Structure 1
Amino acid sequence: MNSKMQDAYALSRQGVDNLLVFARLLGYIRYFHPSDRAAEANWEQLAITGIRSVETAKEPVILIQKLKAIFTPIAPTVRIFATKESSTVSQTLQQPANKASLQLVAWEHYGVKGDGEEDYSIYHSKRVYWNGEQNQITDEVISSYQPFKADLGSGVSCLIPLALFAKNGKTLPHIPKTKAANSIDYSINERATRLAAVILAWNVWQHFYPYFDVVAVDWLEELQTALKYAATDKDTAAFNKTLQRLVAKLEDGHGNVYLLNQNTSDRFTLPFTWDWVEDSLVITYVLPDSEMDLHPGDVVLKIDGVPAAEVISDREQLISSATPQWKRDRALGRMLEGGEATSVELEVRSIGGGIKTVVARRHILYAPESGFSLPLFWQWRDEQLIITSVITEAAGTIKPDEIVLSIDGQLGQKAIAQQIESLSQQFPDWFPSQPKQDRIRDALKELNNGTKGSTVLFQVRSPYGESRTVELSRTLRVWDRKEPRPPKIQQLRSGIIYINFERINDLDFQQALPLLESATGIIIDLRGYPKVSTNPIGHLIDEPVTSARWHIPQVKYPDRQKLDFDFSNWSIEPKKPKLKAKVVFLTNGSAISYAETYLGIIEHYQLAEIIGQPTAGTNGNVNELILPGGYLIWWTGMKVLKHDGSRHHGVGILPTVPVERTVKGIADKRDEFLQRAIEIVSV
C-alpha cells in the first residue's frame, strides 16, 4: 500500500529552526527530567501537537511562550529562557530545608526501554530513588545530578533538572493529572505525525546510540534534512525512504525501519541471485525452471535502462551498514524484490560476449526457508489474526481484512502459541529472547509454510460478522535465495566433512558427532546466520573460552555525556569428544551479529582458519522503539568490542585466508570458497 499524503508542504527556514529547538528540548525532558507527569506523558501525542504549535512562531519570545505552554504542565521546574539571559540562571540543584524527610529521584537508563520492549529485554529505563534509610542523599549524589543547561539554538536555552525531590514517592511540586487531550490522527498521511516520527527517532539515537564515537556524522544536520523531507513527502514510499536515509546515517548493520501493519506482498523475488564480482554485477545462480535466457557468469549491464552500478548506489543510500560488504549484500538482495508479477528488463552481456535483453518476472516469494506457502499474508494485530493481502490465485476465496478464527479446527491464538513453543524448543539459545512480535511473526511463517499442495482448513469471519469455512492449498513457491551448496551435513571426500551452521540445529550436530569425531578435516559454513548454539565450540577447546565484550550504555546525562558502560560476556566450557580434525570456517559479508559472536571466538583463540571475506561488522542485541504512524525502528543498543578491547563495529571478523569470487568460477559453477577450504584441510 502506498498512501497519498494529505498535507505535504515545505517547512520555512523559521519553521525548521523552531522544530530543531523543540526536538532537542523534547528529548531532554522525555529521557532525563524525572517528574511524574513527564514519566507518564503520551510523547507521541505531545510531539504531534507540539509541532503544530511551535512551527509558526515568528520570533524567540513567541517560541519560548509556546514551549512553556507545551512543557510546563508536565515539567514545571524546567526553565526555558532567552539565551542572552543565560548568565543569570543558576545551574545548582535547589535543596529544600526539609530534604531529610524527602526522597531524591532521577532517571537511569540501561540502554533505553522502548515502547515495544518487553520486561525480559536486557535494556530498561527506570527512575531511581534515594532517601534517608537506603541510598542516602549524599553531597556526592546531589553534585552528580546538577541541572543540565543547553543552548537550543535560535536564541533559546533551557535548564533541565536531572533530579527532583519527592515526597511519598511523588515528585515535587505535585502536579495534578491533566484531562486527556482529544484523540488525534496518528496516520502518516498527517504531516505533523511524520515530523513527530522523525523527531522521536532522532532523539532516541542522539542520547542512546553507542557508536557515535566511531561514526562520523553531523547528527543535528541529519535532523534538519529528515524534517525537510518528511514535511514534503507525498506518499508512504517517500516517507519510508526518509526514515531509511536517517537510519542509514547511523552506519549500523542492525539499523532498520519497518511499517508494522504493512504486509509482505512486496517480497516477491526475481528467480536468480547475483553478486558484485570483479567490478561487475554478475548472475550467480538461476532457478532451473525459470525459463529465462540467463546463466551464471552473465554480467548485468543495465536494469530498466539504468546502469547497474548506478542502481546499486541509489539503493545503498537507504541501507544502514557499518561496512561496505553488508551494505552491498543488503542492497543486492532488495533489488531483487518487488510486488507480485512485477518485472524488470535487464541488459546482459553473456559469457561469450554477446549483448542480450532479458525480461525477468517476480512470481516466487522470498523467505528464509525454501518450500511452499499458503497464498496469503497475515498479521497478529489487536489480539486477532487478520488477513492483510491475498495472492492472485486465491483472490475471491479469502479476502483482506477477514479474521482467522481457527486453523484446522484449532483457535488461531492457540495455533500461534504452539508454534512459538515448538520454535523455542528447536532454538533455545536465541528464539525465546526475541521480541514478542518477532516470535509471533516467525510462528505465522511456520503456519504458512509446508509441503507442496498440502491443505489447511480455516474458519474466517468477515468485517461484517459473517463466518465461513475456507480450504486453501500451499501452492505459492517460496525461495530463500541461496545458491546451491552441499547438503547440511555431508562427507565431501574420505575424511572431510562439510557442515552448514545456517541450516543445522543442536540435535543435528549431536547426531553428526560420531562422523565428525572420525574426520580428518571439518569445513563449517558460516556464510549467513547460524541456527545452532555455541555448543559446537566446546568440542574444539581444551580450556574455557569467552565471548567478545558486551558493553551496555548506562545513561544518566543528555547527549551521551559522561557515558558509562556495564561490561559482561559469557563463557563456553570444553565438551567431549574433543574434535581432532583440522577445522576451517567459511564466511562472507552476509555474516552478522550472532555469526560474528561465533567467529570472534574462533578468531581470538585461533581455533580454526577463517576462509572467505570480511563479515558485516555489527554485533550486539537490538534495541527498538515504536514511532507514531506505526513504524518500528531497530538499532544496535550495546557496544561490542573484540576480546582484546579493539573495535569490532565497522571492522568485523577478517578472514585468515581471503578468497574473492571470480566471474570464471561462477560461470563454471564452482564454489571457490569451498574449494579453498578443501585444499587447506586436505594438507
Structure 2
Amino acid sequence: MLRYFTLLFTLLFITSCTGSSSQNIPINPKTDSVFTSKKYISEVNLTGFNAKGKTYYFIKVWGFLKYNADFESIEIDWDDYFISNINKIPNMDNNEYINFIDNTISIFPKLEIKANKNDIKDYSLIDNNWFNSSYFNKTISEKLNHIFENRNNKNSKFINNSRIGNLKFNNEKKYSENEFPQQSIRLLGLARYWNIINYFFVYKNDLEENWDKVLLEFIPKFANSSDVSEYHLVVQELSSKLYDCHSMVRSDILDEKVFGRFTPNFRIEYIDTTFIISKIRTEKYDDKQLKVGDIILKMNNEPLKERYDELNKVFKGANPPSERRIINPYLLSNTDNQMSLVILRDGVQKNIDIELQDYSNYREEESKTESTLKKSVLVNKMSEDIYYLDVNHLTKSNLNINIEEVKDVPNLILDLRSGIYDNIMINLANFLLPKESDFFNSTYSDVNCPGLLRSKKGYRLGQNNESHFKGNLYVLVDENTQSASEFFTMALQSSSNTKVVGSQTAGSDGNITMFHFPGKIETIFTGIGIYYPDMKPTQRVGIKIDHHIKKSVKGIQENKDEVLEKCIEIIGI
C-alpha cells in the first residue's frame, strides 16, 4: 500500500500552488454561492428494532451532534462517550434505547431559536428524513430538527476549512497504540470516517452506492474483524467506496502481510481481457526470461483474472481505466520472493519461475535514472515541425533549458500521461499560455454548515506575456493523468491553440484531505471539487478530450506508442 500512497503525494497538491496573488482568492463562506446541483437522498428506512439498526442510528446521532451541537458550553470527551456506550447498545430493549438517545441529545444545552433558520433545501449532501425514524419517538425527532434549524454556524471544535477549502481535523486522537484495536475503537473509526464523508465529502452525491447503505454494510465488518489483517483490509474496502483515485490507504499490515512487498521486474496493462507486460522496469534485475508483449495467464497457478476480481472487491477507481491502473500493481504482489507464471508468447504457453524483489529496490534503481533526467534536456525532435516533451521529469532544475528548446517550434506535444511537479506549474503555464485565464471553478464543504456545499471561482494560471509559446500545443493523456496532471491540462485548455489527445483520465482532480483510522492506518480523499468554468464536472469523468485514442495489445507487442503516433498523424492532417 505504501507504493501508491507515496506516489500520490508527488501528484496531489495541485491547488496549493498559487496563481497570480491577486487572483488566488481564499474561500469566503459569507459570500461564496450555495452549490445544489444534486441532492442526497438516503435509501435506508429501517423498521423493527434490531442490534444493527440501533448501532446505525446511534452512529448517525453521534456524528450529527459532533458537528452540530454546542460543545463550547460543556466539557465532554465525545470519543470516550462513544467507546463507553457502543457495545451496550445491541443489548438495550426498545425503551432503553429511546431513552438513551434522548439523554444523549440532552447532554447539550438547547439552542436558542434563530430568526433565519437553516433550510434543508440548501444542504445538498444530507437528507434529514432519518430524524423521523421509527427508532425514535416524537421528542427525539423534534430535538434533532431543532438543533439542525438553529445551529449557530460557529467554528467547529473538530473541523475547519483550509484557505482553499479542503478539510482540517482538530482534537482527533489517532489511537495508534495497537494495529488491531478493540471492537469499540474500531467502530469509533468507522463512525468518525462515515460522518466526515456524510457531511463534508464534496463528491458524496457522485458515489456509486448510497452512503447510508454503506454504513449498514460495514458495521458488522468493523465489529467482527477477526484479526489485524482482516481489519486493515476492511478499512481499505470502505475507503474504496468513495470511487476516488485519491482514496488510498497507508497500512504496513496490508503492505507486508496481506499483499506483500515483493513484485516482479515489469509493469502490466489490463487491456480488454488481456494482461500484458508493458515495461521491463530495470536492467539490473532483468533475467531476460520475460519481455514486453508477453501475456500473463496465471500467477502461482491462479488465473490472473480471478485474482483481479478478488482485488476489485477492495480497490475501486473513479472510472474503469483508472480502476485497472490502481489494481494492476497489486496483481503480482507477493509475500515471498518466488513466483511461478504461465505466459503466452507468440501463441505458445510457457511456464516460468521468477525471483522477485522488494518494490523499493526497483524504485532505487529507477531513481538513479530519474535523477539524471531531472537535470537534462528532455525534448525530442520528431520531425522538422514537431517536437515532443515528457513533463514527468521536468523540474525547476531543467525547466528553463527545455523551454529554450521549444519556445519557437510550430508544434509541441506535451506528454502528461504521468505526474507533474506542482512547483513548475506556474512557470510552465506562464510560458505556454498567452494570458491569465480562468479555467476552473471549485466547490468545498462549509464546515460551519455541515452538509452544505459552496462554490467559488478558481484562481488563474498564466500571465500576459508577449513572449509566450505561439505554436500549436498537443497534450497527451490517459488513465495515468491524475490530479495535478488533470488540473494542469485544464489550464492549458483555456488557450485556443491546445488540443488534447488520448483516452479517459483518472477523474480525480482536487486537493486532498488526510484521515487517520485507529490502528496506524492513514487514508486520503479528494478535499475540494474541481469543475470547468461552465460547471461541467471532472470527478469520475476525467477531462475533455479532443481526439480519442487508446492503447492496444497489438500496439504494445509491436512496441508502438499509439497515442503519440496518432497525435503526430493529427498534426500532419
Which bin holds the TM-score, normalised by the shorter protein?
Answer: 0.7 to 0.9
* Corresponding residue for residue 139 of structure 1: 115
**Structure 2 residue aligned with 1:679:** 569
Q: Does 1:270 align with 2:260?
A: no
Q: Look up the match of 2:446.
A: 554
Percent of matched pairs sharing the same residue: 18
For residues 268 and 139 of structure 1, do their structure 2 counterparts lie closer, same or farther at Cα, with a shift above 3 Å needed? same
Is 1:192 aligned to residue 168 of structure 2?
no
Distance of 1:26 and 1:76 partners within structure 2 = 15
SS of 1:301's partner is strand
- Corresponding residue for residue 540 of structure 1: 432
Please name the residue that 1:499 is paired with: 389
Find the partner of 1:281 among 265, 275, 280: 275
Q: Could you tell me which amino acid in structure 2 is paired with residue 18 of structure 1?
A: K
* Mapped partners of 2:318, 2:151: distance in 1: 39
How far apart in 2 are the matches of 1:627 and 1:152? Answer: 29
SS at 2:245 equivalent: coil
Q: Deviations over 1:473-510 (max 9, x none)?
A: xxxxx999xxxxx9733334445332221211134221
Matches of 2:68 and 2:532 in 1, distance apart? 31
- Whether contact under 8 Å (2:432, 2:492) holds in the other structure is no
Candidates 308, 311, 315, aligned match of 2:307:
311
Report 1:305-454 matches (<5 A).
305-339=301-335, 341-350=336-345, 352-366=346-360, 370-371=364-365
Secondary structure of the residue aligned to 2:406 is: helix
Rounded Cα–Cα distance in structure 1 between residues aligned with 2:385 and 2:267: 32
Alignment match of 1:240 (pick from 212, 232, 245): 232
Q: Is the 8 A contact 1:325 1:614 kept in 2?
A: yes
Q: Is the contact between residue 229 and residue 242 of structure 1 (CA under 8 Å) also seen in structure 2?
A: yes
Deviation at 1:574, TM superposition (A): 3.4
Instruction: Give the TM-score normalised by the residue count of structure 1.
Output: 0.64
- Pair 1:153–1:343, CA change in 2 (3 A): farther
CA distance in 1, matches of 2:119, 2:214: 34
SS in 1 for 2:307: helix
- What do the CA deviations read for 1:92-126 (whole angstroms, capped 9, x no partner)? x646xxxxxxxxxxxxxxxxxxxxxxxxxxxxxxx
Q: Which amino acid aligns with 1:655?
A: I
Shift of 1:367: 8.3
Unaligned runs of 5+ in 1: 2-11, 78-92, 96-137, 171-182, 373-448, 452-477, 481-485
Q: TM-score, normalised by structure 2?
A: 0.75
> Are positions 1:510 and 2:379 aligned together?
no
**Structure-1 residue corresponding to 2:14:** none
Q: Which has the higher helix share?
A: 2
Deviation sequence 1:34-93 (CA, Å, 0-9, x none):
23266x654433332221232321x221113444565654x254xxxxxxxxxxxxxxx6
Unpaired runs of 5+ in structure 2?
A: 2-47, 123-127, 158-174
**Aligned partner letter, 2:79:** E
CA-atom RMSD, angstroms?
Answer: 3.5
Partner of 1:589: 479
Q: Which residue identity lines up with residue 230 of structure 1 in the other structure?
A: F
Name the amino acid aligned to 1:633.
T
Q: 1:204 aligns with which of 161, 186, 196?
A: 196
Q: Which residue of 1 aligns with 2:16?
A: none
Counterpart contact for 1:22–1:67, Cα < 8 Å: yes
Partner in structure 2 of residue 35 of structure 1:
71
Q: What is the number of residues matched between the two proteins? A: 484
> How does 1:641-660 map onto structure 2 within 5 Å?
641-660=531-550
Given residue 22 of structure 1, which amino acid in structure 2 is its aligned partner?
A: F
Aligned to 1:150: 131
Secondary structure at the counterpart of residue 244 of structure 2: coil
Contact 2:338–2:354, Cα closer than 8 Å, also in 1: yes
Shift of 1:236: 2.2
Separation (CA, whole Å) in 2 of partners of 1:523 and 1:142: 51
Distance in 1 of aligned mates of 2:472 and 2:347: 42
* Compared CA separation, residues 307 and 263, structure 1 to 2 (3 A): closer
Please give the residue correspondences for 1:521-670 in structure 2 after superposition, counting only pairs within 5 Å: 521-531=411-421, 532-557=424-449, 560=451, 563-670=453-560
In structure 2, do the counterparts of structure 1 residues 30 and 613 end up closer, same or farther at CA, with 3 Å as the change threshold? same
Name the CA distance, whole Å, in 1 between partners of 2:293 and 2:79: 51
Q: 2: CA distance between counterparts of 1:153 and 1:201?
A: 25
Q: Distance in 1 between matches of 2:370 and 2:341?
A: 21
Contact 2:443–2:528, Cα closer than 8 Å, also in 1: yes
The structure-2 alpha-carbon separation of the partners of 1:256 and 1:603, relative to structure 1 and needing over 3 Å to count, comes to: same
Name which structure has the greater RCO, CA cutoff 8 Å, separation 6+: 2
What amino acid is aligned across from residue 140 of structure 1 in structure 2?
Answer: N
Please give the alpha-carbon distance, in whole angstroms, between the structure 2 residues aligned to 1:606 and 1:656. Answer: 12
1:140 aligned counterpart, secondary structure: coil
8 Å CA contact retained: 1:604, 1:643: no
Residues in 2 aligned to 1:305 and 1:72: alpha-carbon distance in whole angstroms: 60
How much has 1:269 moved relative to structure 2?
2.6
Deviation at 1:617, TM superposition (A): 0.9
Contact 1:540/1:607 (8 A) holds in 2: no
Greater per-residue strand proportion: 1
